[in-house]
Structure 1
Amino acid sequence: MLIIGIAGGTGSGKTTVARSVIDQLGSSQVTFISQDNYYRDHAHLDFKQREAINYDHPLAFDNELLLQHLKQLKETESTVQSPTYDFANHSRADRTIELQPNPIIILEGLHVLSDESVRGILDIKVFVDTDPDVRILRRVLRDIQERGRSIQSVYDQYLTTVKPMHEAFIEPSKKYADIIIPEGGHNEVGIQLLTILTEKYLLQSQLVPSVSHRTIGD
């Protein structure tokens, strides 16, 4: 099993890159995991308290549960039930997603490379590098259209947490990447390179009964 981590700032195109690779390889070969579904559960707090949490900090994520699920998929090859997240209410949703132990796992999220323990389980580490002005425009559209936020709340969150956390944690994590893909989903060459590496692994796994754990670039 090959685990690919795709990191990058908000609105960088991480999900687009992941979906492009999945489209080329086939969904039956790949399990997609969004780190966003692993925000910590704050159901015990009221809405105002949940709203005030810094969701752009690495500690906002339940990486212990995420790692547990990744190891279960990799080591026991059994399905796991991933949590989902309700962004409008800042809380975990009741619905879960069943994750299959496919040959390829793509983990996408802001802090996939920021956390040492998560980084350590990755075989290929990718950073999607996109201009800040493009990223913030995408963030505004997404948060208003998909997450029910107001323009004022998006503005306030960007200045107080999104931008500072990007500069403190996400941008520095780029140094850990094996592959850097500028401009996200628009970089067809970068996506094709990642797809070719993944296809090579799939071919080898079909020819060799057991493929050892390797990290490209280490």
Structure 2
Amino acid sequence: MIKSYIVGITGGSASGKTSLLKEIRKRFNSDEVCILSQDNYYKPVTEQQTDENGHVNFDLPDCINLNEFKSDIEKLASGNTIKRQEYRFQHEVQLGDWITYNPAPIIIVEGLFIFYREDIYSQFDLKIFIDAQENLQLERRIKRDTVERNIPEDFVHYQWKNHVMPAYKKYLEPYKSQADIIINNNSHFNNSLMVIENHFKWHIQSLQQHN
């Protein structure tokens, strides 16, 4: 059995996690790199907390079924295939298609709160934090949420002020120092991507040679 190299990737909202993962997918086959997203572990909307104005706050660790998330990371790392139903974000979380995750030499675990729990981040062989200036993250989030999720811009600002940034300050920023690599994504991450790509290739070759 191949002993997978497990990589944790986190960062604030609209910092560039999805963009980085898209580029990684372009460079590696699915039998080389498996990407497990925390987003697919959101609890049903009926189980989510609301703020004082009655709006669901999706930026809390309790919104995620972290125990199932942890269990599936362990299953993948042990060489087992898992299945998970995709979550799609509109005004609320909606169920999507079933996704099959197969073990691979590189397993990437990504999400907002993956450094928050020690029993999760302690499984990572490499920890990456994607960083960007706050104003740039807000601009990107407005563009994404208004276009892709059909969320009114004023509500994007509301979420940013009342949910996103308080969560970042409490659940992400304090754990930034745990990262092995911090990527500055104010403009691009080309240099960091090249380093990561070469690092992954080396590990894939190394793991294949020893199995």
Q: Give yes or no for TM over 0.5.
A: yes
Cα displacement string for residues 62-104 of structure 1 (whole angstroms, at most 9, x for unaligned residues) = 11111111111111x2221113223225235153211111221
Q: Compute the displacement of 1:195 (Å).
A: 1.6
**Does 180-189 or 106-115 show the bigger shift?**
180-189
Amino acid at match of 2:183: I
Equivalent residue number for residue 28 of structure 2: 25
Rounded Cα–Cα distance in structure 2 between residues aligned with 1:48 and 1:169: 17
Equivalent residue number for residue 155 of structure 2: 153
What is the correspondence of 1:105-144 to structure 2 with a 5 Å cutoff?
105-144=107-146
SS in 2 for 1:28: coil
Aligned counterpart in structure 2 of residue 74 of structure 1, from 69, 74, 77: 77
Equivalent residue number for residue 90 of structure 1: 92
Instruction: Among all aligned residue pairs of Structure 1 and Structure 2, give the percentage whose two residues are the same amino acid.
Output: 28
Q: Which aligned runs of 4 or more in structure 1 are off by greater than 3 angstroms?
A: 42-45
Cα displacement string for residues 143-189 of structure 1 (whole angstroms, at most 9, x for unaligned residues) = 11111211121111111011111112211121110111111781211
Rounded Cα–Cα distance in structure 2 between residues aligned with 1:4 and 1:26: 16
Equivalent residue number for residue 186 of structure 1: 188
60 and 194 in structure 1: CA distance in 2 versus 1, 3 angstrom threshold: same
SS in 2 for 1:186: coil
Equivalent residue number for residue 201 of structure 2: 199
Cα displacement string for residues 113-160 of structure 1 (whole angstroms, at most 9, x for unaligned residues) = 222222011111000011111111111111111112111211111110
Q: Compute the displacement of 1:43 (Å).
A: 4.2
Rounded Cα–Cα distance in structure 2 between residues aligned with 1:184 and 1:128: 10
Aligned counterpart in structure 1 of residue 14 of structure 2, from 11, 16, 25: 11
Structure 1 unmatched ranges of 5 or more: 210-218
185 and 115 in structure 1: CA distance in 2 versus 1, 3 angstrom threshold: farther
**Does 190-199 or 179-188 show the bigger shift?**
179-188
Amino acid at match of 1:108: E
Amino acid at match of 2:60: H
Amino acid at match of 1:85: Y
RMSD of aligned Cα (Å): 2.2
Conserved 8 A contact 2:91-2:149: no
* 1:55 matches 2:70: no
Report the number of matched residues: 206
Conserved 8 A contact 1:73-1:80: yes
SS in 1 for 2:128: strand
Rounded Cα–Cα distance in structure 2 between residues aligned with 1:8 and 1:181: 9
Q: Compute the displacement of 1:12 (Å).
A: 0.5
Rounded Cα–Cα distance in structure 1 between residues aligned with 2:85 and 2:64: 12
**Does 88-97 or 58-67 show the bigger shift?**
88-97
**Does 174-183 or 110-119 show the bigger shift?**
110-119
Structure 2 unmatched ranges of 5 or more: none
- TM-score, structure 1 normalization: 0.86
- TM-score, structure 2 normalization: 0.89
